[in-house]
Amino acid sequence: MITIRKSDSRFQADRGWLQSRFTFSFADYNDPAHAGFRSLRVMNEDRISPGKGFGPHAHRDMEIITYVLEGKLQHRDSMSGPHTMGPNEIQTMSAGNGIVHSESNASQTEPLHLMQIWIEPSAEDLPPSYQQVAVPLSAKRGRLHLIAGPADSQHSPPTTINQDARLYVSELGAGEAVSQELTSGRHAWVQVVRGEALLNGQPLREGDGASVSGEPRIEVKGGASGGEILLFDLA
């Protein structure tokens, strides 16, 4: 079964310097019908004005993945920093037993556009960690490129998270397709972050997401203008 969460049905938050779309419940938005999917808890699309950002604040027991679509993000945390990251980089932070961090648009002139994803960890009170790696353009073009997953000798993700969940990114030209087998008990979430795509033949536009359960295989095909997707393979 495929259930689509349309882009324009997401919650819209406007704080002036921050324009956000929440796919799932977040902050003051609490919608039991959209509280998450499997271990996926947060799927936020944020646009942050130049020079603005989130001051120091805390997290605990959450795997936080940030994928920049446009602009530069500056990050500092209680373990390290500052770190600056841009498009085609992935940041994976395990809040573990406690972390304080700040995030802001590193540019005073250019906007920052990013996806922030929270995944529930498989255990509490783990040591916090920070990872940031580049995603080579060639690695994600026309194929599913694993960018985060559990420490696993079979898949060797470039960044590790404390959950049985794997995150892939793929940039697809028009009509170009990738596929993923979903073994018994596995589920998927597909989020279109740029352009358009077809998920098992169903059209998805930029900002749309879809949960997939009970399907043995999913195929994602680039739409008329191509597209970029995030695919989560979830327990």
Partner 1 sequence: MAQTVVVVTFYSRGGVTERLATAAAVGAVQARAGIRMRRLADADPAATLQRYPEAQESLARMHREYVPPREADVQAADALIVGLPAGMTPRSGECSGFFEMLARLGGEGKLAGKVAAAVGADQTLDAIAGALSAAGLTVVTSKEDSRSDGTEAAIALGRRVVAAAESSRPAST
Q: Report residue 195 as tokens.
A: 């352009």
Whichever of 10 and 59 has its CB closer to partner 1, that residue is: 59
Residue from 9, 102, 131, 200 touching partner 1 (CB under 8 A): that is 102
Q: What is the 3-state secondary structure (H, E, C) of the chain?
A: CEEEECHHHCEEEECCCEEEEECCCECCECCHHHCCECCEEEEEEEEECCCCEEEEEEECCCEEEEEEEECCEEEEECCCCCEEECCCEEEEEECCCCEEEEEEECCCCCCEEEEEEEECCCCCCCCCEEEEEECCHHHHECCCEEEEECCCCCCCCCEECCCCEEEEEEEECCCCEEEEECCCCCEEEEEEEEEEEEECCEEECCCCEEEECCCCEEEEEEEEEEEEEEEEEEC
Residue 178 corresponds to which amino acid? V
Residue from 23, 44, 91, 104 touching partner 1 (CB under 8 A): that is 104
Residue from 36, 50, 51, 226 touching partner 1 (CB under 8 A): that is 51
Residue 226 corresponds to which amino acid? G
Whichever of 46 and 171 has its CB closer to partner 1, that residue is: 46
- Is 97 a binder of partner 1 (CB under 8 A)? yes
Cβ–Cβ under 8 Å, residues 88 and 134: yes
- Is 58 a binder of partner 1 (CB under 8 A)? yes
- Is 57 a binder of partner 1 (CB under 8 A)? yes
| CA–CA distance, 36 with 58 (Å, rounded to integer) | 21
- Is 98 a binder of partner 1 (CB under 8 A)? yes
- Is 55 a binder of partner 1 (CB under 8 A)? yes
Whichever of 27 and 235 has its CB closer to partner 1, that residue is: 27
Residue 29-48 contact track with partner 1, rule CB under 8 A, x = bound: --------------------
Whichever of 18 and 100 has its CB closer to partner 1, that residue is: 100
Whichever of 81 and 136 has its CB closer to partner 1, that residue is: 81
- Is 60 a binder of partner 1 (CB under 8 A)? yes
Residue 67-86 contact track with partner 1, rule CB under 8 A, x = bound: -----------x--------
Q: Smallest distance from the beta carbon of 76 to partner 1, in angstroms?
A: 8
Whichever of 12 and 84 has its CB closer to partner 1, that residue is: 84
Q: Count CA atoms within 13 Å of residue 83 on its CB side.
A: 23
Residues that bind partner 1 (CB under 8 A): 51, 53, 55-60, 78, 97-100, 102, 104
